[in-house]
């Protein structure tokens, strides 16, 4: 038979739970902070993607350009970046135009942002570079310029 330790009103069991919590609490706190930072990176990358999409939509439609509240592509991109802290730098916004393999005109908008984590832990990067590029075909300037598929 095995000898069981004597317990007086569960004191031994409560002490074991306290020791387990003391050992696991730093690890659980680390996981929580990493999860929060991962959620923030995901949110910021979606916001940067939407900013690039807004800029490409603004530049791809001549009617939108003429009737828009935004004067240029950078204003259209920054319109969706209001929740970013620190704010989006307009130097990190670029756009190009060109023609694809099917001879269709397109506009490409690239937005870059440097995300900073909440805390610094070993093994967790302090800064994460987020870059998103959206390419859209431009609409023809006149109705007769449609190309056949």
Q: Which stretches of the chain drop beneath a pLDDT of 70?
A: 1-13, 141-149
Tens-place pLDDT, residues 51-89: 999 999 999 988 877 888 888 889 999 988 888 888 888
Q: Distance between CA 19 and CA 27 in Å, rounded? A: 14
- Per-residue pLDDT, 142: 66
Residue boundaries of the structural domains of the chain: 14-145
Report CA 142 to chain centroid distance, whole Å.
37
CA dihedral 118, 122, 123, 124 (to 10 degrees): 0
Burial class from Cβ neighbours inside 10 Å (0-12, 13-18, 19+) for residue 42 reads: exposed
Question: Tokens 């967790």 identify what position?
Answer: 124
- Per-residue pLDDT, 8: 57
Largest Cα separation within the chain, whole Å, is: 95
b/e burial code for range 113-123 (CB count within 10 A of at least 16 → b): bebebeeeeee
Q: Please give the structure tokens belonging to residue 24.
A: 């696991």
Percent of the chain at pLDDT > 70 equals 85
Quick check: 62 and 141 in contact, CB under 8 A? Answer: yes
Q: How would you classify residue 106: left for phi > 0, otherwise alpha for psi between -120 and 50, otherwise beta?
A: beta
């Amino acid at each position: 038979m095995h000898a069981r330790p004597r317990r007086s009103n569960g004191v031994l069991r409560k002490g074991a739970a306290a020791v387990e919590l003391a050992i696991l609490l730093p690890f659980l706190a680390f996981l929580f902070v990493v999860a929060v930072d991962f959620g923030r990176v995901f949110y910021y990358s979606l916001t940067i993607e939407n900013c690039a999409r807004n800029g490409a939509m603004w530049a791809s439609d001549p009617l939108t350009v003429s009737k828009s509240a935004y004067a240029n592509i950078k204003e259209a991109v920054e319109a969706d970046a209001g929740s970013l802290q620190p704010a989006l730098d307009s130097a990190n916004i670029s756009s190009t135009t060109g023609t694809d393999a099917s001879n269709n005109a397109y506009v490409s908008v690239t937005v870059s942002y440097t995300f900073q984590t909440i805390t610094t832990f070993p093994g967790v990067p302090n800064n994460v570079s987020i870059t998103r590029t959206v390419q859209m075909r431009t609409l023809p300037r006149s109705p007769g310029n449609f190309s056949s598929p």
